Structure 1
Amino acid sequence: MTSPETLPVDVIDQAVPLAAGDALHALRRQRPKIVDATQGSYAGMFSPAVVGVSVVERLLVALHACRLSGAATLADHYRARLQAEGADAALVAAADGGAAASDARVATLLAFTTKLIVRPIEGDRSAVQSLADAGLPPAAIVAVGQLIAFLSYQIRVVAGLQALAAAGAGGPETAQPAEARGGSTVESPIRIRGFTNEVLDWTPWVEPVRLEEATPEQMAALQEMSPTAKDQAYFRLLAHQPEMLLQRSIAFNAIMFAPGGMPRAERELGATVESRLNGCVYCASVHAQRFEQLAKRNDVIVQLFEDPATAGTSAREKAIVGFSARLGLAPADVGGADVQALRTAGLTDGETLDLVHAVALFAWANRLMLNLGEPIHKDGTLAEKARL
């Protein structure tokens, strides 16, 4: 029988920190699939079974991402893991921001990490090619892309939970009734600053898995995402790392579709805010459409595409957009006052945590979309570049 002392340490709980018996620890467990898939993703990202990029190289990437993001407790975690692995002290110092890496391959990995973490919109084919030139095969390139994108998620989940902890007890105990208003719908297609609600496609810069060559594990991971995932190049690309895709798929579906908590339309709004700020035209188009399908209006989407700083058709929407933007752009700066603003607008802490997960999930998704391929129209022409 497994005792509490032998259970693997939950990295999110450790970094916040949260302990069994804490109200926030219990709140987090109200979404058990998200908790398990987040920890499962972490395990998959650093699995020794991943070939082509070593565990130490992946830990160096993780430390660098956390340092760039101001995620001190997570940086401590990855630094300790590097020490336990006996990593070269000079390489750890380079990942920690102290000096340039003397190892050319590590320098390439850290440069790629910096681009994805700081300015994901600047991802391009040449950045992916730099990984190939450094000796990474396609499956390892996908592993590195997934890792950095996952770290963006992990950093924001920790930051959101720390903000909830800083806010302390309080806020509405039950969700407020949905606002009874029709809103308005602007005739489609919307085209503003490179963003659109049109249906787009996406083309990868790395060769996806061929279905006729897919392993049972790869097919199972695709099926977990959705029945149509196998028909999309994006998911077939991610299937190069089936365990990473499997855990991400479980997390995605639990975050965006689980019943109760924050209304699904508002989760889609948080996802669209993050995509707008990162310049991810593809994700913004998909989740603008889903918001409109659920809310039966697109007025706030038009506002968001025009100017995220002023978007929102009600006090609640403005609070959701503002919090999403702050968590997405500057997770280290989010604090108790930001949670209190959501409480004032009527959000329960459970709804706030749902929003944290949605924004963090699209910090993950955007970085994959922006750095492993590019959006195209259905006729194969390139989609317009976002203008932030």
Structure 2
Amino acid sequence: MSSPASLPISRFPVPALADLPADIRERIVAVQEKSGFIPNVFLVLAHRPDEFRAFFAYHDALMDKPGNLTKAEREMIVVATSNANQCQYCVIAHGAILRIRAKNPLIADQVAINYRKADITPRQTAMLDFAMKVSFEANTVGDDDFAALAKHGFNDDDVWDIASIASFFALSNRMANVTRMRPNDEFYTLGR
């Protein structure tokens, strides 16, 4: 059996860092300098540079913006919906980010396994209930959903953010599964 470090990170070709366009290489090096390693998602998606740029532009627009959702709550949405979509990469990677942003070593496992039993607020549970509905029954979203979220202090912009994050990561989950994207070993211990 191969050691985890020797297993391929994708079923598609992974370009060498030196062969990437300068803007993509610079972004990846900046992430490496900040985190101490290169998350595999960057290398796997670099297989298609134009799509890499579009993917990360939308990712950043959703995940790094100010608003009524905290960065930890945004990560909760990713972890809960990614688990429902059976995306190992996103649950492991974003679980690590959630632990760090929430400053809670237990929260990611709780949210991934069953967010309704997790140590989160009723507001966060309502947020995740809606994110799951968007993930699996977006065609049934209606005024009652907006009213339920409003009772927890979410405005229309917040609802848009929740829906956008759940929708974007549905794309990410599917591509991670199709590419057989492997989580970096480093993610497993971050924030614990």
TM-score (norm 1): 0.41
Give 1:211-360 correspondences, 5 Å limit: 211-214=17-20, 216=21, 219-224=22-27, 227-228=30-31, 231-308=38-115, 310-311=117-118, 313-360=120-167
Q: Distance in 2 between matches of 1:351 and 1:270?
A: 12
Contact 1:203–1:233 (8 Å) recurs in 2: yes
Tell me what 1:173 maps to: none
- SS state at 1:240 partner: coil
Q: Distance in 2 between matches of 1:362 and 1:226?
A: 24
Q: Distance in 2 between matches of 1:255 and 1:294?
A: 16
1:335-366: CA deviation from partner (whole Å, max 9, x where unpaired)? 22122211111112222222222212211211
Q: Distance in 1 between matches of 2:47 and 2:62?
A: 23
1:116-175: CA deviation from partner (whole Å, max 9, x where unpaired)? xxxxxxxxxxxxxxxxxxxxxxxxxxxxxxxxxxxxxxxxxxxxxxxxxxxxxxxxxxxx
Contact 2:69–2:158 (8 Å) recurs in 1: yes
Q: Distance in 1 between matches of 2:118 and 2:142?
A: 21
1:203 paired to 2:6:
no
Q: Which amino acid aligns with 2:138?
A: P
Q: Which amino acid aligns with 1:342?
A: L
**TM superposition shift of 1:283:** 1.0
Q: Which has the higher contact order (CA 8 A, sep 6+)?
A: 2
**TM superposition shift of 1:299:** 4.9
Taking every aligned residue pair, what percent have the same amino acid on both sides?
A: 23
Q: Distance in 1 between matches of 2:45 and 2:149?
A: 35
Contact 1:202–1:282 (8 Å) recurs in 2: no
Contact 1:225–1:250 (8 Å) recurs in 2: no
**TM superposition shift of 1:311:** 4.5
- SS state at 2:182 partner: strand
- SS state at 1:330 partner: helix
Cα 1:309/1:343, change in 2 over 3 Å: same
Q: Which structure carries more helix by proportion?
A: 2
Contact 1:222–1:239 (8 Å) recurs in 2: no
Tell me what 1:181 maps to: none
Q: Which amino acid aligns with 1:295?
A: A
Give 1:141-160 correspondences, 5 Å limit: none
Question: Max radius of gyration: which structure?
Answer: 1
Cα 1:269/1:208, change in 2 over 3 Å: same
**TM superposition shift of 1:223:** 3.4
Aligned residue-pair number: 177
Q: Which amino acid aligns with 1:213?
A: D
Give 1:181-200 correspondences, 5 Å limit: none
RMSD across aligned C-alpha pairs, in angstroms?
A: 2.8
Mark the runs of 5 or more structure 1 residues left unpaired by the alignment: 1-200, 384-388
Mark the runs of 5 or more structure 2 residues left unpaired by the alignment: 1-6
**TM superposition shift of 1:259:** 2.1
Q: Distance in 2 between matches of 1:313 and 1:232?
A: 27
Cα 1:372/1:332, change in 2 over 3 Å: same
- SS state at 1:227 partner: helix
Contact 2:99–2:107 (8 Å) recurs in 1: no
Q: Distance in 2 between matches of 1:240 and 1:377?
A: 18
